[in-house]
Structure 1
Amino acid sequence: MIFKENTNKIRKLLIVVAVIGTPISLNLFVFSWSWPKVLNGTLTEWISFFGSYSGGVVGGIVAYIVSKAQIDNQRTMERLKSLEAELPTYVAMKLEFDKVIQTVDALIKVKEKMDSSTDEKLKEKIYFASIGLNEFHWDRWERKWLITDSILLEELLKFQESFQRTIEVFGIDIEGAEKEIIDKYEKGLITKEQEEIDKLGLEGMKAEKIHYWNELDYCKEKASKINAVLLRKENLIKKLKAGFININRTNLDTHYEDYKVNR
């Protein structure tokens, strides 16, 4: 953005120098200069030539300004149209992130109660129980591909993958899986060796489940950051549509700092 602004300033400066410098150069090197045995023309002829030349230059500049204004206006309209197409996506995604934050906040409150409890068996039962978190409309999340903000899209992709894994892990019934392993061994459906292997796998599931319980605060903060960006984008586009703000003077891009959370 800074490089582009500097380039535009340099281009405008060169145009000004060219407009001012051309008549000065003609005066010094054409009107006042001659080569032996070469006629440099009468003053009237040169004034006529200069009039035609300067008229052509001015006409070219005017044509350039008009053409550039038309191109810029066309680009502005296309950009505004693209942003208007994104608006329903921001609305839909914000609805989903509102639910994410509410769901995660409820789980955090459960965790806080469990952490303050002295009943270890109850804590283990809650932490390793199957908790269904299937109230999300994942078809709305697919609208993310309409978003032109590459950083926001990257953050949405990473969050969706992480959160879907969170849902999978919370849905695992550790106690039920443990009973199933024991039942299979007692019925002779698996060997003792296989039972031990399955139990080791179960320990890995327990560790993963504890990990995601501990990540809830981070998950909520990250979701809140993304949600704030979605709301800001939604409001900006609505203001652009209403003509309250100028699209060429409005920065709609986000930065990684907008999504940074404290680990």
Structure 2
Amino acid sequence: MLKELSKVLNIKWTICIIIFIIIVPIIINYFLLTWRFTGIWFIPGVQGNYDDWLGYFSNYSGGIIGGIVAFLIAWSQIKSQAKEKEIEAINAERKTLLKVQYELKKIKYEFDSLKMAEIEDETVIIPQVSLDIRELNPTNWADLGELRNAELFFELMEIEDFYKQFRKDLLNDIFDLEITKGRIEDQLNNHFSSNDKRNWKLEEESIRIGNTLLVLKRSREYYWVQFREKRDKINEISENLEREIIKINEEIGPLSIN
């Protein structure tokens, strides 16, 4: 609709300019140069002869044509530069999408691996040991602001943030902490059985590890529930990203490697 309106306005402006070009000499002749008083009213006449007006129109039309040509050249250059900048921006967006696409494949691989790790004897469990999944490359995520699709932008931001937090949580070894806490409790039991004074240091350490374990277990449960949701969502995000890349390829052509 906007394009159609723009075409109509351009046609109207073109007609107005042509009328203006034609009417200016008439206005100059009849209203400025040749008004004569007849005794009753003023009437216009024609000032100058055929050769004078022919020379005037030659200069007048030449100036107009030269101005129009200069305007069209400048306008064409401006449009060309604007189009080049637009293509550069779209191409930058495509490169960002391709880099993020690689990162999503990495995330999907790690998610699939974790899916296998949580199954033991056909029972779904939440691993308590430390699991080191691959780290994301910050460079590949740095230019998400280039994306024009706001929905895809927020989806990718969300999956990136979750993966970072999830990876950080997985590095915590809950099982190892439980072993450490068990050893401390054994030391405390042996200490009490010998009727020695209370070992406040060991008791504080046992309480500290117990609180840490509580926090880590809740965090692991929370992120594991989120992980199950995200691993199902990752395929949808990947498909949306692939559609954006295809759309850009259709818009400006395939990516060329110089």
Do both proteins adopt the same fold according to a TM-score greater than 0.5, normalized to the shorter chain?
A: yes
1:183 aligns with 2:180: no
Indicate the residue corresponding to 1:73 in structure 2.
80
* Alpha-carbon distance, 1:225 to partner: 4.0
CA contact (8 A) 1:31 1:40 kept: yes
On the 8 A contact 1:133/1:167 being kept in 2, the answer is yes
- Determine if the alignment matches structure 1 residue 142 to structure 2 residue 139: yes
Aligned to 2:191: none
Shift of the 8–180 alpha-carbon distance from structure 1 to 2, 3 Å rule, reads farther
Q: How many aligned positions are there? A: 230
Choose 1 or 2 for highest CA Rg: 2
Q: How does 1:149-168 map to 2 (within 5 A)?
A: 149=147, 151=150, 155-168=155-168
Identity in percent: 18
Residue 98 of structure 1: how far off its partner (Å): 1.7
Q: How far is the alpha carbon of 1:197 from its aligned partner?
A: 4.0
**Which runs of structure 2 are paired with 1:1-263 in the superposition (5 Å)?**
12=10, 15-23=13-21, 25-26=23-24, 29-34=27-32, 41-42=47-48, 44=50, 45=52, 48-81=55-88, 83-84=90-91, 89-108=96-115, 117=123, 126-130=125-129, 132-136=131-135, 138-139=136-137, 141-146=138-143, 148-149=146-147, 151=150, 155-184=155-184, 186=187, 190-236=201-247, 238=249, 240-242=252-254
Q: Give the equivalent residue in structure 1 for 2:194.
A: none
Question: Larger deviation: 5-14 or 143-152?
Answer: 5-14
What TM-score do you get using the length of structure 1 for normalisation?
0.64
What is the RMSD computed on CA atoms of the aligned residues? 4.1
Which one has more relative contact order, counting CA pairs under 8 Å at least 6 apart? 1
CA distance in 2, matches of 1:96, 1:77: 29
Q: What amino acid is the match of 2:24?
A: L
Gaps of at least 5 residues in structure 1 are 118-122, 244-263
Q: Which consecutive residues of structure 2, in runs of 5 or more, have no partner in the other structure?
A: 38-43, 189-198
1:67-120 Cα distance to aligned partner (Å, 9 max, x none) = 222333334344445555665554343232123224324545666x68x84xxx
Cα–Cα, structure 1 residues 131 and 191, in superposed 2: closer, same or farther, change >3 Å? closer
How far is the alpha carbon of 1:223 from its aligned partner?
2.8
Moved more, 216-225 or 102-111: 102-111
In the other structure, the counterpart of 2:40 is: none
* Matched AA of 1:95: Y
